[in-house]
């Protein structure tokens, strides 16, 4: 390094530095200039977008901007078409974005089978669940996750000495599923129970809590939820109906984490009933997920 610096100093002292040296200097200056311009532009963009989200409307300036879209292998696409109703509800452009994004999860997550062989259907359906729930956001990668652990059936957890169907394990950066129960979530699409959706929302929620300061996606999700809970607290009639209607299972009222997950489970599985029973809460959940596609 010192040698290079000495050489540059020497060349700078020469009256007429070689042409190559001049070219290199110009290239370095241009690259540095572009880099600085990019950093400044990005900073300003995020600043204004955050101000827009916080004070004007819960919307990002853009959600999907993928210059080079990954194409999904036909075998994977067939699984989506046959087993993932949501995908079929998207238009052509949205499908291409979905196909691009799902591959991020398939490629970047480690899938670990415990007494079960992980197959491509498992990977596609779990990754598709994450892609669906984050489809309204630009920050879709769920930074708190890097692996998926799959058991064939409910598994014994040493943490609380009981059988689990699934969980988000924050310290292990993992979503854990009993495959039997994950499949049940999709077998009946309108019973407001979907293990994959439920656990994935826990991970997304924690991920957004960590990135709230700089992520407009996180701001939309968390601030909309804040608005939603404030609305409920201020409206005794709705609050009472929420607790007694039986539309939301009781587990929703354990704490805010479970409330968000159950809200989204119902939103995904029975949007029409949700909208007719709790129209204001429905709008807030839709805003929270920026879910303006597939008929929602």
Binding letters toward Zn ion, positions 202-241, x by CB under 5 A: ----------------------------------------
Binding letters toward Zn ion, positions 67-106, x by CB under 5 A: ----------------------------------------
Which CB atom, from 261 or from 266, has the smaller least distance to Zn ion?
A: 261
Query: Least Å distance between CB 206 and Zn ion?
Result: 12
Query: Least Å distance between CB 185 and Zn ion?
Result: 13
Which CB atom, from 194 or from 217, has the smaller least distance to Zn ion?
A: 194
Which CB atom, from 194 or from 261, has the smaller least distance to Zn ion?
A: 261
If one counts every other C-beta atom within 10 angstroms of the C-beta of residue 56, the result is 8
Structure tokens belonging to residue 102: 């799902």
Decide: 210 and 202 in contact? Cβ < 8 Å: no
CA atoms of 209 and 169, how far apart (whole Å):
16
Q: Characterize the bridge pairing of strands 174-178 and 162-164.
A: unpaired
b (16+ CB within 10 A) / e for 246-282: eebeeebeeeeebbbbbbbbbbbbbbeebbebbeebb
Which CB atom, from 132 or from 165, has the smaller least distance to Zn ion?
A: 165
Which CB atom, from 114 or from 249, has the smaller least distance to Zn ion?
A: 249
Query: Least Å distance between CB 85 and Zn ion?
Result: 23
Terminal-to-terminal C-alpha distance of the chain: 59
DSSP secondary structure of 37-77 = HHHHHHHHHHHHHHHHHHHT-S--S-S---SSPPPPPHHHH
Size of the site for Zn ion (CB under 5 A): 2
Structure tokens belonging to residue 235: 């409206």
Binding letters toward Zn ion, positions 244-273, x by CB under 5 A: --------------x--x------------
**Residues in contact with Zn ion by the rule CB under 5 A:** 258, 261
């Amino acid at each position: 390094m010192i040698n290079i610096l000495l050489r540059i100093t020497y060349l700078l002292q020469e009256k007429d530095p070689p042409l190559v040296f001049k070219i290199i200097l110009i290239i370095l200056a241009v690259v540095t200039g572009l880099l600085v311009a990019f950093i400044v532009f990005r900073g300003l963009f995020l600043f204004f977008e955050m101000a827009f989200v916080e004070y004007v409307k819960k919307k990002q300036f853009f959600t999907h901007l993928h210059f080079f879209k990954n194409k999904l292998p036909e075998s994977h696409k067939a699984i989506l078409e046959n087993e993932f109703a949501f995908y079929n509800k998207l238009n052509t452009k949205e499908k291409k974005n979905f196909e691009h994004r799902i591959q991020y999860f398939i490629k970047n997550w480690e899938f670990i089978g415990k007494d079960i062989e992980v197959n491509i259907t498992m990977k596609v359906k779990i990754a598709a669940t994450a892609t669906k729930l984050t489809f309204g956001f630009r920050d879709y990668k769920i930074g708190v996750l890097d692996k998926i652990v799959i058991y064939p059936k409910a598994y014994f957890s040493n943490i609380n000495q009981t059988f689990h169907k699934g969980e988000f394990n924050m310290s292990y950066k993992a979503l854990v599923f009993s495959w039997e129960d994950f499949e049940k979530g999709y077998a009946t699409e309108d019973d407001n129970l979907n293990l994959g959706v439920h656990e994935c929302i826990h991970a997304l929620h924690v991920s957004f809590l960590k990135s709230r300061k700089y992520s407009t996606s996180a701001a939309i999700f968390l601030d909309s939820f804040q608005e939603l809970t404030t609305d409920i607290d201020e409206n005794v009639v709705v609050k009472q109906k929420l607790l007694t209607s039986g539309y939301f299972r009781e587990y929703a009222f354990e704490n805010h984490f479970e409330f968000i997950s159950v809200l989204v489970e119902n939103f995904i599985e029975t949007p029409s009933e949700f909208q007719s029973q709790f129209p204001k809460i429905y709008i807030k959940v839709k805003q929270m997920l920026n879910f303006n596609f597939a008929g929602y």
